[in-house]
A and B are shown apart, each in its own frame.
Chain A
Amino acid sequence: NAGVTQTPKFQVLKTGQSMTLQCAQDMNHNSMYWYRQDPGMGLRLIYYSASEGTTDKGEVPNGYNVSRLNKREFSLRLESAAPSQTSVYFCASIIQGMNNQPQHFGDGTRLSIL
């Protein structure tokens, strides 16, 4: 039982390049989230998917797109990477009943944009 798996773990991009961060969970969770974490900023929500087939913007969605491919997978895409998107990205999931369940986190993707 792997929990929440993120790939890649590290990535360096040049400004303007695109890439997709992958996230998969094997816990049959309904809701999935993408956060970014910058020094001193806590976790900021980029996008979330309350259930398969739905996605919604979070606090900092600009410059990102997401796809809820199926119940297991939720990907985050940077179409044209910018240095301001250098961050650590975490994917998380919740089983259901969003109001009372803690999140399970992946190990994170460390992304540097030059």
Chain B
Amino acid sequence: QKEVEQNSGPLSVPEGAIASLNCTYSDRGSQSFFWYRQYSGKSPELIMFIYSNGDKEDGRFTAQLNKASQYVSLLIRDSQPSDSATYLCAVNIRRGSYIPTFGRGTSLIVHP
């Protein structure tokens, strides 16, 4: 089992819809969770981070964390074609110290 799991997709949604991206992780001691967006040929850029159970909202983005079930999700409301990208989930996993560990990423396609 990979330490951080994501469905590779592609996830295809129409413009204006809600896109829901999910991530599960194996280390119950993980405290920090990040979502990065990566456009083709570019480097990852941070869009959300969350440390506490519950929801965290930033504009059209909402991160949701459930530590008991060991999953973190990202909701994108009013999806736009410009949101089409790969979304990477990262979790700080304990290996002695905490090491940022990435899932394989979910490809999102928002079609007009």
Contacts and interface: CB of A to CB of B under 8 A. Distances in A.
Q: Which range holds the interface residue count of chain A?
A: 20 to 34
A44 B2 CA distance: 12
Contact of A45 (B49, B99, B103): B99
Interface string A24-61: 00000000010100001111110010100000101000
A100 interface: yes
Contacts of B51: 100
Looking at chain A's contact residues, the main secondary structure is loop
Looking at chain B's contact residues, the main secondary structure is strand
B88 A105 contact: no
- Which of B42, B44, B96: most chain A Cβ within 10 A? B44
A41 B104 contact: yes
B102 to A, nearest CB: 4
B97 A50 contact: yes
21 contacts: A33-B100, A41-B104, A42-B103, A42-B104, A43-B88, A43-B102, A45-B99, A45-B100, A45-B101, A48-B99, A58-B99, A98-B97, A98-B98, A98-B99, A99-B32, A99-B92, A100-B32, A102-B46, A105-B44, A107-B42, A108-B42
Interface of B: 6, 8, 31-32, 34, 42-46, 49, 51, 88, 90, 92, 96-105
